[in-house]
């Protein structure tokens, strides 16, 4: 090896880390966010390039094959997926990272079962990575609708889960003490099972928090794998992994906590509470749901001074964001003030609604966070709820309700409430929404895109 | 514990604080792209996967190493493209719903 190759590769790693951090910082402001991901991408290319240039590596054909297959699949899938499916895409790619971390841990364990510190660090990376890939897979299946989104509760699950994890780690210990690789198979299988069991009881509305947690966990797993590598022959790649992994672990943990806080729930409650499954489903609600014709709803909005739109997951599912933008334009053309109230956990990810409305071309200054706009509902003539449910349920204000304490949009305080909804079903909490039974609430049943399209044409035509 | 492990631990502690500080002032608007972006950054796992496969000797190690590289590469490319697509929508200079 030429003397300068090693230091040159190290220099690339250092530069890559600097650019990663700058990129992450740029991503935390709207004006520079796009530049941030490009920086991070360049840093990643440099780091991977430097690693490939490292002396002593072999199996280059396999490495190339892996990069082409994995990179190609990831690129293709990420290109074709619809914007509404972004949450589960993040879950998938995050799971891949966790799986890679677990696999690296496995290779390390197969090679170094006798050296204590390295083996335990690899094992820890394998534990967390395995939980992350199994859990992310379940999160993907739930969000994609390929399995029920409701919490699935196994009897005595805390005990069962703990036992599974304990036995898994026991197998890991036995593999270490006896230096027999065969015990690693049940070790990994049980860890995957634990990841599945951990995620099953968590309901659809909590999925964003879970994905964020697995994102942080994958970061930690990558960092731990990095620890295991630093004492190996190619230690400097290990340092890069430690920094990037821990960076994501810390940032992801904070993001997870912020998201849980937006729902006024503790992290423990989200992950171990089996929300909506163990609590009372709530009694019947007085009153009835009152439907309204499209034409009447259109007139109601046309003659309003101010309309506040509260979008939710239903808008994302129906891909109605473009039509919602048209509706806002049509109303504004008639002199109506239109604002959007964005609940922090509306949709399936924080900022999900912002992303979709931005895609449709709605200006930022019309989007308001919950605390900015809540007081304004009382002055609004019409609150238009499009496919949102639990985040507008006034039951959250009443002690004793399963939703109690969750911050909601105060749409029920508007003079009139219009709710666009596919059917009479309940939200992810499984609770009846008292808003729908209110005296001043009218229901417009149907697919959000079709309903909003009809509203737009009714408004453009003007009152008959 | 070996000296390099202690060094790595020092680095990890500092990185944790950096990660916390960098994220703490992010508007809700950017939470989704940020989650996606940090998802991309832990794609650095690909580097470890390349090292693991590059040093693998037995067929079993090679097979698992190959799986690691495939998954890591998916994490990197998928994470980048998804984040880029989300952030492209925040770019004011482009016409609305502009070409991807």
- Same-domain pairing of A267 and A317: no
Give the CATH number, domain containing residue A418. Answer: 3.40.50.1220
Edge-first strand listing for the sheet containing A441-445:
A367-369, A337-342, A306-311, A382-386, A416-421, A441-445
User: Do the Cβ atoms of B44 and A244 come closer than 8 Å?
Assistant: yes
Does residue A90 sit within a domain? yes
Does residue A314 sit within a domain? yes
On the CB side of A320, CA atoms within 13 Å amount to 31
Does residue A52 sit within a domain? no
| Catalytic residue flag (residue A390) | yes
Which residue among A225, A236, A390, A410 is the active-site one?
A390
Amino acid A279: pLDDT: 43
Does residue A233 sit within a domain? yes
Work out whether the CA dihedral A326, A328, A330, A333 comes out positive or negative: negative
A60 vs B contacts (CB less than 8 Å): 54
Amino acid B98: pLDDT: 37
Does residue B4 sit within a domain? no
- Same-domain pairing of A348 and A453: yes
**B89 three-state secondary structure:** coil
Does residue B77 sit within a domain? yes
Alpha-carbon gap, residue B64 to B52, rounded angstroms: 9
Indicate the range of A442-456, B24-38, B68-82 predicted with least confidence. Answer: B24-38
**A252 CB near a chain B CB, below 8 Å?**
yes
Per-residue pLDDT of chain A (464 residues), as tens digits, is 567 888 888 899 999 999 999 998 888 887 788 899 999 999 999 999 999 998 888 899 999 999 999 999 999 999 998 877 888 899 999 999 999 999 999 998 887 655 677 888 888 999 999 999 999 999 999 888 888 777 777 777 788 889 999 999 999 888 888 877 888 899 999 999 999 998 888 876 677 888 999 999 999 999 999 998 887 777 788 999 999 999 999 999 988 888 777 666 677 777 776 554 444 445 556 677 888 888 888 888 988 999 999 998 888 888 888 899 999 999 999 889 999 998 877 776 667 788 888 888 888 888 888 888 888 999 999 999 998 888 888 888 877 777 777 788 899 899 999 999 887 766 666 677 888 888 889 898 888 888 999 999 988 887 65
- Same-domain pairing of A264 and A143: yes
Q: How many helices (H) and strands (E) does chain A have?
A: 16, 6
User: Do the Cβ atoms of A376 and A418 come closer than 8 Å?
Assistant: no
Threshold 0.90, pTM exceeds: no
For residue A81, give both structure tokens: 């997926």
Cβ-Cβ pairs closer than 8 A, A with B, add up to 392
- Same-domain pairing of A236 and A298: no
Of the candidates A236, A173, A207, A234, the residue with the CA atom closest to the CA atom of residue A92: A207
Q: Which residues contact B53 (CB under 8 A, 6 or more apart)?
A: A59, A62, A63, A66, A107, B62, B65, B66, B68, B69
Alpha-carbon gap, residue A313 to A388, rounded angstroms: 6
Amino acid A50: pLDDT: 93
Biggest CA pair distance of chain B: 57
- Asked if A33 lies within 8 A of B1 by C-beta distance, the reply is no
Domain assignment of residue B65, given as a range: 28-89
Does residue A29 sit within a domain? no
Phi-psi region at A380: left, alpha or beta (left = phi > 0; alpha = psi -120 to 50):
beta
Does residue A456 sit within a domain? yes
Whether B95 shows a pLDDT value over 70: the answer reads: no
- b or e along A93-114 (b: 16 or more beta carbons within 10 Å of the residue's beta carbon)? bbbbbbbbbbbbbbbbbbbbbe
For residue B31, give both structure tokens: 């939470």
A54 vs B contacts (CB less than 8 Å): 51, 54
Q: How many CB atoms lie within 10 A of CB A429?
A: 26
User: Do the Cβ atoms of A340 and A366 come closer than 8 Å?
Assistant: yes
Does residue B43 sit within a domain? yes
- Same-domain pairing of A264 and A317: no
**A184 CB near a chain B CB, below 8 Å?**
no
- Asked if B49 lies within 8 A of A103 by C-beta distance, the reply is yes
Cα A459 to the center of its chain, rounded Å: 36
User: Do the Cβ atoms of A417 and A382 come closer than 8 Å?
Assistant: yes
A97 vs B contacts (CB less than 8 Å): 39, 42-43, 45, 71-72, 75, 79
Amino acid B97: pLDDT: 41
- Asked if A110 lies within 8 A of B67 by C-beta distance, the reply is no
Length of chain A: 464
Domain assignment of residue A336, given as a range: 294-461
Does residue A35 sit within a domain? no
- Asked if A250 lies within 8 A of B70 by C-beta distance, the reply is no
- Same-domain pairing of A122 and A261: yes
Amino acid A205: pLDDT: 66
**Of residues B11, B35, B80, nearest to A243 (C-beta):** B11
Supply the Cα-derived Rg of chain A in whole angstroms: 25
Does residue A37 sit within a domain? no
User: Do the Cβ atoms of A391 and A383 come closer than 8 Å?
Assistant: no
- Same-domain pairing of A429 and A352: yes
- Same-domain pairing of A262 and A305: no
Alpha-carbon gap, residue B69 to A402, rounded angstroms: 44
Strands A416-421 and A441-445: parallel
**A211 CB near a chain B CB, below 8 Å?**
yes
- Same-domain pairing of A443 and A322: yes
Does residue B38 sit within a domain? yes
Does residue B5 sit within a domain? no
- Same-domain pairing of A258 and A358: no
Alpha-carbon gap, residue A273 to A201, rounded angstroms: 8
- Same-domain pairing of A119 and A245: yes
Alpha carbon separation from A208 to A141, A160, A204, A247, A352 (Å, rounded): 13, 25, 8, 20, 10
Alpha-carbon gap, residue A322 to A319, rounded angstroms: 7
Amino acid A204: pLDDT: 62
Length of chain B: 100
- Asked if A66 lies within 8 A of B74 by C-beta distance, the reply is no
**Mean pLDDT along residues B2-20:** 88
| Domains in chain B, number | 1
| Domains in chain A, number | 2
Q: How far is B99 from chain A (nearest CA, A)?
A: 11
For residue A392, give both structure tokens: 């507008």
Amino acid B27: pLDDT: 72
Mean pLDDT of chain B: 84
Of the candidates B29, B78, B75, B40, the residue with the CA atom closest to the CA atom of residue A85: B78
Instruction: Supply the ipTM of this predicted assembly.
Output: 0.90
Q: How far is A177 from chain B (nearest CA, A)?
A: 18
Amino acid A274: pLDDT: 54
A121 vs B contacts (CB less than 8 Å): 5
Alpha-carbon gap, residue A81 to B22, rounded angstroms: 29
Confidence label for B25 from pLDDT (cuts 50, 70 and 90): confident
Q: How many helices (H) and strands (E) does chain B have?
A: 4, 0
CA angle A5, B12, A195 (to 5 degrees): 110
DSSP A219: H
């Amino acid at each position: 090896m030429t003397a300068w190759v090693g230091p040159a590769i190290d220099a690339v790693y250092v530069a890559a880390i600097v650019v990663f951090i700058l990129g992450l910082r740029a991503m935390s402001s709207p004006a520079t966010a796009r530049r941030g991901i490009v920086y991070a991408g360049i840093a990643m290319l440099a780091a991977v390039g430097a690693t490939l240039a490292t002396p002593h590596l072999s199996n280059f054909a396999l490495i190339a094959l892996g990069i082409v297959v994995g990179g190609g699949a990831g690129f293709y899938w990420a290109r074709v997926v619809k914007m509404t499916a972004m949450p589960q895409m993040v879950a998938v790619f995050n799971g891949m990272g966790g799986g890679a971390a677990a696999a690296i841990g496995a290779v390390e364990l197969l090679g170094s079962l006798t050296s204590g510190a390295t083996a335990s660090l690899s094992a820890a990376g394998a534990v967390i990575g395995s939980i992350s890939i199994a859990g992310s897979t379940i999160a993907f299946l739930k969000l994609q609708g390929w399995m029920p989104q409701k919490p699935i509760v196994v009897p005595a699950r805390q005990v069962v889960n703990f036992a599974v994890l304990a036995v898994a780690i026991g197998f890991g210990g036995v593999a270490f003490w006896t230096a027999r690789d065969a015990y690693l198979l049940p070790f990994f299988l049980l860890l995957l099972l634990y990841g599945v069991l951990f995620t099953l009881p968590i309901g659809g509305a909590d999925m964003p928090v879970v994905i964020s947690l697995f994102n942080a966990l994958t970061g930690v797993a990558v960092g731990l794998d990095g620890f295991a590598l630093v004492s190996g022959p190619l230690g400097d790649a290990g340092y890069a992994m430690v920094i990037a992994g821990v960076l994501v672990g810390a940032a992801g943990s904070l993001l997870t906590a912020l998201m849980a806080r937006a729902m006024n729930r503790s992290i423990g409650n989200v992950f171990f509470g089996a929300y909506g499954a163990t609590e009372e489903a709530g009694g019947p609600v007085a009153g009835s749901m009152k439907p309204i014709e499209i034409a009447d709803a259109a007139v109601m909005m046309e003659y309003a001074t101010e309309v506040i739109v509260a979008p939710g997951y239903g808008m994302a599912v129906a891909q109605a964001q473009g039509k919602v933008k048209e509706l806002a334009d049509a109303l504004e053309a008639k002199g109506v003030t239109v604002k959007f109230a964005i609940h922090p956990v509306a949709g399936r990810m924080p900022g999900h609604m912002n992303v979709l409305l931005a895609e449709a071309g709605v200006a930022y200054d019309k989007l308001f966070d919950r605390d900015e706009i809540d007081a304004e509902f009382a002055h609004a003539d019409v609150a238009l709820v499009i496919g949102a449910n639990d985040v507008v349920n006034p039951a959250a204000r009443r002690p004793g309700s399963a939703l109690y304490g969750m911050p909601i949009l105060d749409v029920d305080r508007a003079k009139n409430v219009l709710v666009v909804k596919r059917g009479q079903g309940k939200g992810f909490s499984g609770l009846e929404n008292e808003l729908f039974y209110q005296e001043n609430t009218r229901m417009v049943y149907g697919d959000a895109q079709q309903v909003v399209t009809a509203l737009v044409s009714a408004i453009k035509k003007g009152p008959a | 514990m070996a000296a390099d492990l202690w060094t790595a631990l020092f680095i990890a502690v500092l990185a944790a604080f950096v990660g916390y500080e960098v994220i703490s002032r992010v508007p809700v608007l950017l939470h989704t792209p940020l989650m996606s972006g940090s998802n991309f950054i832990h794609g650095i796992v690909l580097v470890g996967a390349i090292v693991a496969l590059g040093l693998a000797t037995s067929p079993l190690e090679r097979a698992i190493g190959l799986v690691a590289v495939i998954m890591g590469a998916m994490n990197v490319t998928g994470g980048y493209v998804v984040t880029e697509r989300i952030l492209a929508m925040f770019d004011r200079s482009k016409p609305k719903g502009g070409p991807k």
